[in-house]
Amino acid sequence: MNELKHVGIIVDGNGRWATKRNKSRSEGHLEGSKNLEKLILNISESNIKVLSLYVFSTENFKRDKNEVDYLMNLFTKWFKIINKKYKNKNIKILFSGRKENLDKKIIKEIESLEHETNDNTGLIVNFCLNYGGRAEIVDATKKICSDVINDKININNLDEKIFGEYLYNNLPDLDLLIRTSGEQRISNFMLWQLSYAELFFTNTLFPDFTYEEFANIVNSYMKRDRRFGGTNKN
Ligand code: IPE
Ligand code: IPE
Ligand code: MG
């Protein structure tokens, strides 16, 4: 059995789910958010420690303004709803991403969620919003350079462990990455953290992705032979 601390999900396929039903892309995002709310609750009852959810990439700002505005409003409202629900479920919320070009309203909800759930000790849910794996590495590098210039760290001591401390959140490496919707690519998600992650791609569009399917993927993950560059111990 493999250890499973950190799972990442690339939440994808909301648009295609809607288009297939002659609905607007917005309706797909709304349905995706409802599904995500349930999925997080189910996962919080498992032994998984950290769940990173890719919900908006730095590149998603390239989309039509109406879609971006809809998504930002949806996140803002949805964060308010889950703030009350998750606090009592012992779920701790974190955010990874660039806050600079996000609207003040969404930042307020993000900070409130982080604050309200700060003392919770159960599942850590890390929302990756306005997140890019390359942006995270660049932002960490800038902070390191600044600390080197200010003599806070000695460049000769810099190693992978210390580098990890400069990322948006210092989380364990990703063990398992799931992407819904059939696309088989990483799309700039957690490039640093997924160096040895096991990858699973499912054709299911996110609004249809159930906890049952998630649990089946976890079972398959348990049987994978993870070697980390070494040789099989058996
Ligand atoms: C994922 O669904 C949600 C976000 C990226 C915000 P998409 O909106 O990418 O859905 P598809 O890929 O167009 O179906
Ligand atoms: C990746 O999905 C980002 C999120 C799921 C938040 P996209 O739908 O933006 O990715 P591409 O464009 O298909 O690579
Ligand atoms: Mg997509």
What is the value of pTM for the model shown? 0.97
Residues 6+ apart with CB under 8 A from 13: 180, 181, 182, 204, 205, 206, 207
Residue 48's closest CA among 223, 224, 165, 211? Answer: 211
Of all protein residues, the one whose alpha carbon is nearest to atom 1 of ligand 2 is: 187
Cβ of 15 below 6 Å from ligand 1: yes
Strands 6-10 and 50-57: parallel
**Is 60 noted as a catalytic residue in this protein?**
yes
Instruction: Give Cα 12 distance to the centre of its chain.
Output: 12
- Going from the Cα of 232 to the center of ligand 2, the distance in angstroms, rounded, reads 35
The pLDDT profile of the chain, 234 residues, written as one tens digit per residue, is 899 999 999 999 999 999 999 999 999 999 999 999 999 999 999 999 999 999 999 999 999 999 999 999 999 999 999 998 998 999 999 999 999 989 999 999 999 999 999 999 999 999 999 999 999 999 999 999 999 999 999 999 999 999 999 999 999 999 999 999 999 999 999 999 999 999 999 999 999 999 999 999 999 999 999 999 999 765
DSSP state of 189: -
14 lines ligand 1 (CB under 6 A): yes
Q: Which residues contact 232 (CB under 8 A, 6 or more apart)?
A: 225
Provide the CB-side half-sphere exposure for 197 (13 A, CA): 26
Which is the catalytic residue, given 14, 60, 150, 216?
A: 60
Place of tokens 């009852």: 45
Residue of the nearest CA to atom 11 in ligand 2?
A: 187
Given a contact cutoff of 8 angstroms between Cβ atoms, the answer to whether 187 and 210 are in contact is no
Residue 123 CA: distances (Å) to CA of 35, 119, 160, 213, 232: 18, 12, 25, 19, 31
**Known catalytic residue at 12:** yes
CA of 180 to the centre of ligand 3 (A): 9
From start to end of the chain, where are the E strands? 6-10, 50-57, 92-96, 124-131, 176-179, 198-201
